[in-house]
């Protein structure tokens, strides 16, 4: 039996004159593209361009929804009221879905960005608001997120497909959760090691924890980070390692 | 044979804490609601609320698209590049369409706001960009605009339904075009006179020009302004006058 | 010995086409104007206009600084990094100070708006960041805030004049702190009662708590709220009651 | 007699997470820094950081004011009302002046950015509004701009020091004006040629036109562009060429 996994990366994280990610480079490597929808990054022209390129490359498109915070790139905790967050998510998802169908493809899933991702990992109120926003757009859209998060629980409870992702470049605790970024060693930098961990997650469903033990990691997708120097090269190495290990790369949605 | 006309008004022109129009009041009177989509006004929560209310009232919903200019309320000329304007329009239309279907209804048409309306009346490049944005979302969406405008020409050329509207509270020249706002007497203020002109447009397809002559005005919809004190009262008077004259009020789309 | 107090109100809380407060009305009543600086509300033209009018009326001008959040009107908790918050405060204060000197007057003090006010009441990190931003502009500027707050402590520690204000329209606990808005009865609505409480604060330095006891309230300024219907009338009643009680109204700064 | 010239470059053109220019690199080369003030680019933290670094390097700081248009990077024509543009300029200048004094230095001049630069080259209304905004902040601030522009005329008429700049990397017409960017050959790319032209402007006050003739160019400052790959290297080459030619580099203000 051969293993199969999805590779997802954030894209379209520019705004107007500014660019962050090498979208064309990443689209040749990953199988799913999390495209920013205009609230933390992403202007309509960029969204449309990246959606069209992703469609051409056969890459599945996901709405990367975030807080309305361009200055903070959606990375600051914001206590957004429930009905407003629901509407903000619906708005972003619908706008990107429009860019997808204008590009002859369909929106396949939704993922949270930045601090919205972090907050909905544990905050049931915001998690429910996000899920409600997604459902009001399309109750058949999967939600990609952190295993064990409040978000995936809320998604499951609401009847959405809750898809778990793994982070090969992040350290894991013995409980199989992420070591917080504030702690030393939370983020790994060696592309070879990161690739090896990705293969382990995809093939065995396991990850070596920071204590040297082994934890289970259910993941239908692996997240590769695109906004750092060397990102495309690191993603390429991951893809090669997976293919060499006989893992099939395909969108989860 | 009885006449039939649509009444449209701008709505949802608030942003966050700010409000401009009495949306609930207007929705009991008009048959079409031009809802702001977030670029010149309109946040997602407001859009969703007004869309839901319009659906309840059986009022047709149109996307009121504008320049990205909250500080200027979309009323300043902006020389937006063609591909960017096309994407901006697509984004706004898709986002509001999402609010409509989340409210159990459908987006029925598109109208331009503020200076985008004025500029696309004569600027063929921007008119074509707007039409392209609408078509990329849905080639069956009608576009509401000024008779004789570059926008309606571009819409017709692109195979869209180009719907003309009349302005009972604006003075007309002998050629049947609007007297520019900068000229004295360009805007009428007497609700009774405005209502009388509306009936004349709806029943006879005519308007009295500022020179006392009569001009032809083809209009499938009449625009009532909602963002001034007394707006709801004036709109009510218009509706009453039309009904008394035997004119049927119904959405054009 | 006659008592003396300042009356402060929020102003210039519009943005572009939107207005919230009756600035001209309020300027005839209060002695200090908290002017929004463009982050939660307030565009430069509005700031300049209100500053000029305040100067004409002899009303002291304070910078009403807030989070960068137009959509949320600065009322949502935001976890802004320390150096960014310091710079955001400096920017807002300097910009309004420019509007003041362009109007022939000077900026007299700084006050926090919305959730920045609430958060800096207890969050020492953000309080210190705000104080640092104020000091980098002008170490002689007083800061107006909640008695017992982290903000006033930080201001005092940094050598700034920390000025306490009272809220005649808010219920107080036995400890002399504000009853949270989420609790019933937190906000009073009867203008007469509010005026009476204001006089009591100004003359006796006391307030009746929600349990019917009496608490000490040191306040060199009383805050009147300007963004609700009837605000100007309520403020007028307060001013009259204070004057009748022989309290002198004068800016604290 | 030795020649003397200023070298100016745009800086701080990031926003939040995004960066455009290598500010530290440029600050080691130029003598004047045009710092973005938050309307087309530039957040307060970036402004403060770049101002502090410029102060350390002994580089003169200018306010690089632009239209309120982050999405368009201030490069789109905008028909901003006169009083609003005046206030927008005052706001930006005052905010950056605050960052300067917080960094122990002073704001030395003002320059327009992007389409505000282009428009005020010929539009007397907008030019006057910009000059009025500068004067309301500080009537002793020089304005840096295009020789022969409406802006410099308005500045001179208002009693401001109007400082002309030259563009070594732009083609000139026989009349000594810039060849529009839309025409072929408008922008030069060879760093060596650009440096040679810069020396010619500084030493002889002349430039070779695109027709091979020679035109007079009065310039107290030369503009080097910082937002393109290789910008720092090109600027370094210019600086070296000027120094080799015995030209003294010093801020004009």
* Residues B88-136 pLDDT 10s: 999 999 999 999 999 999 999 999 999 999 999 999 999 999 999 999 9
Name beta bridge partners: A11.
A35
Q: Is the pLDDT of residue D1 over 60?
A: no
Query: Where would I find the beta strands (DSSP E) of chain B?
Result: 4-11, 32-36, 60-65, 107-112, 143-145, 162-166, 206-208, 214-216, 221-224, 248-249
Residue C103 has pLDDT above 60, yes or no: yes
Q: What is the mean pLDDT of residues C219-237?
A: 90
Look at residue D61 in the predicted model and tell me its pLDDT. Answer: 98
Disruptive mutation site among A38, A68, A76 for chain C (greatest number of C CBs within 10 Å): A76
Tokens 């706008």 — which residue? A95
Neighbors of chain A with 3 or more C-beta pairs under 8 Å = B, C, D
User: How far lies A182's CA from each of A185, A208, D41, in Å?
Assistant: 9, 20, 30
Average pLDDT score, chain D = 96
B58 and B26 Cβ atoms separated by less than 8 Å: no
Name the β-bridge partners of B165. Answer: B221
Between C123 and A218, the more confident residue is C123
Which of B68, B76, B84 comes nearest D79 by C-beta? B76
Q: Taking all residues of chain A, what is their mean pLDDT, rounded to a whole number?
A: 96
- Structural tokens at position C226: 């300007």
Taking residues D130-149, report their average pLDDT.
97
Hey, which residues does A64 pair with through a beta bridge?
Answer: A36, A111
Tens of pLDDT, residue by residue over D170-221, are 999 988 889 988 899 999 999 999 999 999 999 999 999 999 999 999 899 9
Give the closest-approach CA distance of C72 to chain A in angstroms.
8
- Rounded-to-integer distance, Cα A116 and Cα A204, Å: 30
pLDDT in the model for residue C228: 80
Taking only the tens place, the pLDDT of each residue in D11-67 is: 999 999 999 999 999 999 999 999 999 999 999 999 999 999 999 999 999 999 999
Contact pairs from chain B to chain C, CB under 8 Å: 33
Q: What's the CA angle centered on B164, arms B161 and B168, to 5 degrees?
A: 160
Contact across the interface for A115 and C79, Cβ inside 8 Å = yes
D204-221 in b/e burial notation, b at 16+ Cβ within 10 A? eeebebeeeeebebebbb
Does pLDDT of A1 surpass 80?
no
Give the residue on C whose Cα is nearest the Cα of D91: C95
Residue B11 to residue B8: CA distance in whole angstroms: 10
Task: Give how far D217 is from chain A: nearest CA, Å.
Answer: 31
* Range of A170-174, B233-237, D160-164 with top mean pLDDT: D160-164
Q: Does B182 have pLDDT greater than 90?
A: no
pLDDT value for A218: 87
Contact B87 A43 (CB under 8 A): yes
Spell out which residues of chain D touch residue C95, defining contact as CB-CB under 8 Å: 91-92, 94-95, 98
- How far apart CA A197 and CA C235 sit, in angstroms, is 66
Using CB atoms, pick whichever of A17, A43, A75 lies closest to residue D20: A17
> Nearest by CB to C102, which of D43, D83, D137?
D137
Q: How does residue D229 score in pLDDT terms, banded at 50, 70 and 90?
A: confident
Using a CB-CB distance cutoff of 8 angstroms, which residues of chain A are in contact with residue C81? 76
Of D17, D41, D71, the CB nearest to A73: D17
Q: List the end-to-end C-alpha distance of chain C, in Å, as a whole number.
A: 21
Q: Which of A89, A45, A99, A95 is nearest to A65 (CA)?
A: A89
List chain C residues with CB under 8 Å of D132: none
Instruction: Please tell me the distance from the alpha carbon of residue C65 to that of residue C92, in angstroms, as a whole number.
Output: 6
Helical ranges in A33-113 per DSSP H: 44-57, 82-102
**Mind telling me how many Å the CA of C93 is from chain D's nearest CA?**
8
For residue B32, the model assigns a pLDDT of: 98
Q: Which residues of B touch A43 (CB under 8 A)?
A: 84, 87
Q: At CB < 8 Å, which residues of chain B contact D?
A: 68-69, 71-72, 76-81, 84, 115
The distance of Cα A95 from the centroid of its chain, to the nearest Å, equals 18
Q: What is the mean pLDDT of residues A15-44?
A: 97
State whether residue C253 is helix, strand or coil: coil
Question: Cβ C102–D45 below 8 Å, yes or no?
Answer: no
Average pLDDT on C122-137 reads: 98
Touching subunits of B (3+ CB pairs, under 8 Å) are: A, C, D
Give the separation between CA D225 and CA D194, rounded to whole angstroms. Answer: 11
Q: How far is Cα D87 from Cα D85, in angstroms, rounded to an integer?
A: 5
C18-29 per-position pLDDT tens digit: 999 999 999 999
Identify the bridge partners of residue D5 per DSSP, sorted by sequence position: D249
Chain B residues inside the 8 Å CB shell of D80 = 72, 76
Measure A200 CA to nearest chain B CA, in Å: 40
Strands (E), D27-183: 32-36, 60-65, 107-112, 143-145, 162-166
The shortest C-alpha distance from B168 to chain C (Å) reads 24
**pLDDT at residue C26, rounded to an integer:** 96
What is the number of other CB atoms lying within 10 angstroms of the CB of residue B213? 11
* CA nearest to C33, candidates C113, C95, C94, C89: C113
Interchain pair D91, C38: CB under 8 A: yes
CB contact under 8 A, C76 and A80: yes
- D129 alpha carbon, distance to own chain's centre: 18
Taking 3-state DSSP, the helix, strand and coil percentages for chain D, each rounded to the nearest 5, stand at 40, 20, 40
Query: Among C16, C43, C73, whose Cβ lies nearest the Cβ of B16?
Result: C73
* Model confidence, pTM: 0.97
Taking one residue from A and the other from D, the number of pairs with CB-CB distance under 8 angstroms is: 33
- How long a stretch of residues is chain D? 253
Mutate to test the interface with C, among D12, D92, D101, D102 (most CBs of C within 10 A): D102
For residues B33 and B11, the answer to whether their CB atoms sit within 8 Å is yes
Give the pair of three-digit tokens for residue C151.
Answer: 């903000």
pLDDT per position as a tens digit, D67-83: 999 999 999 999 999 99
In the prediction, which pLDDT does C182 show?
A: 87
Interchain CB distance below 8 Å, A90 and B83: no
> Do residues D232 and D22 lie in contact, with contact meaning Cβ atoms separated by under 8 Å?
yes
Cross-chain Cβ contact C81/A77 below 8 Å: no
* Chain A residues whose C-beta sits inside 8 Å of any chain C C-beta: 68-69, 71-72, 76-81, 84, 115
Report the residue count for chain C. 253
ipTM of the complex: 0.96
d(CA B185, CA B250): 30
The band of C58, judged by pLDDT with boundaries at 50, 70 and 90, is very high
Looking at residues C212-236, what average pLDDT do you find?
91
- Which residue in the block uniquely carries the two structure tokens 């003739």? D213
Of C45, C84, C95, the CB nearest to D83: C45
Q: Which chains touch D (3 or more CB pairs under 8 A)?
A: A, B, C
**Rounded mean pLDDT of A75-97?**
98
User: Quick one: pLDDT band at residue B1, thresholds 50, 70, 90?
Assistant: low
Asked whether the beta carbons of residue A98 and residue B95 sit closer than 8 angstroms, the reply is yes
Instruction: Tell whether the model's pLDDT for residue B245 goes beyond 60.
Output: yes
Q: Which among B20, B43, B75 has CB closest to C18?
A: B20
Q: Which of D79, D85, D116, D126 to mutate to test the interface with B (most CBs of B within 10 A)?
A: D79
How many angstroms separate the CA atoms of B168 and B238, rounded? 9
pLDDT at B28: 96
The whole-number pLDDT of residue D231 equals 86
pLDDT of residue C1: 53
Q: Which residue has the tokens 């010995």?
A: C1
Distance CA A188, CA A194 (A): 7
Of C87, C133, C135, which to mutate for an interface test with D (greatest number of D Cβ within 10 Å)? C87
Q: Do D88 and C45 touch (CB under 8 A)?
A: yes
pLDDT in tens, B25-70: 999 999 999 999 999 999 999 999 999 999 999 999 999 999 999 9
User: What residues of chain D have any CB closer than 8 angstroms to a CB in chain A?
Assistant: 14-20, 41, 43, 70-73, 75
Task: Name every chain D residue with its beta carbon within 8 A of the beta carbon of C98.
Answer: 90-91, 93-95, 97-98, 137
Contact C138, C155 (CB under 8 A): no
Q: Region C230-253: what's the mean pLDDT?
A: 95
Cα-based distances in Å from B220 to A126, B192, B248, D201? 45, 21, 12, 63
The predicted pLDDT at position A245 comes to: 96
Q: Is the pLDDT of residue A61 over 60?
A: yes
């Amino acid at each position: 039996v051969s293993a199969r996994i999805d590779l997802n990366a954030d894209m379209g994280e520019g705004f107007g004159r500014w660019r962050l990610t090498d979208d064309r480079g990443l689209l040749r490597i990953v199988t799913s593209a999390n495209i920013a929808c205009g609230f933390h990054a992403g202007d309509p022209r960029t969204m449309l361009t990246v959606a069209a390129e992703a469609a051409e490359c056969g890459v599945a498109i996901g709405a990367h929804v975030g807080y309305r915070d361009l200055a903070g790139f959606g990375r600051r905790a914001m206590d957004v009221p429930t009905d407003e967050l629901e509407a903000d998510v619906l708005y972003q998802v619908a706008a990107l879905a429009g860019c997808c169908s204008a590009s002859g493809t369909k929106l396949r899933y939704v993922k949270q960005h930045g601090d919205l991702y972090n907050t909905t990992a544990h905050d049931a109120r915001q998690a429910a608001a996000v899920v409600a926003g997604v459902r009001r757009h399309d109750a058949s859209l999967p939600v990609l997120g952190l295993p064990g998060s409040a978000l995936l629980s809320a998604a499951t409870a609401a009847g959405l497909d809750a898809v778990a992702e793994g982070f090969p470049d992040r350290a894991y605790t013995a409980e199989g959760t992420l070591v917080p970024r504030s702690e030393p060693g939370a983020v790994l930098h060696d592309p070879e090691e990161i690739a090896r961990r990705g293969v382990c997650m995809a093939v065995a469903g396991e990850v070596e924890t920071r204590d040297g033990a082994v934890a289970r990691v259910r993941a239908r997708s692996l997240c590769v980070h695109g906004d750092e120097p060397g990102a495309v090269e690191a993603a390429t190495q991951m893809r090669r390692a997976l293919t060499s290990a006989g893992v099939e790369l395909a969108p989860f949605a």
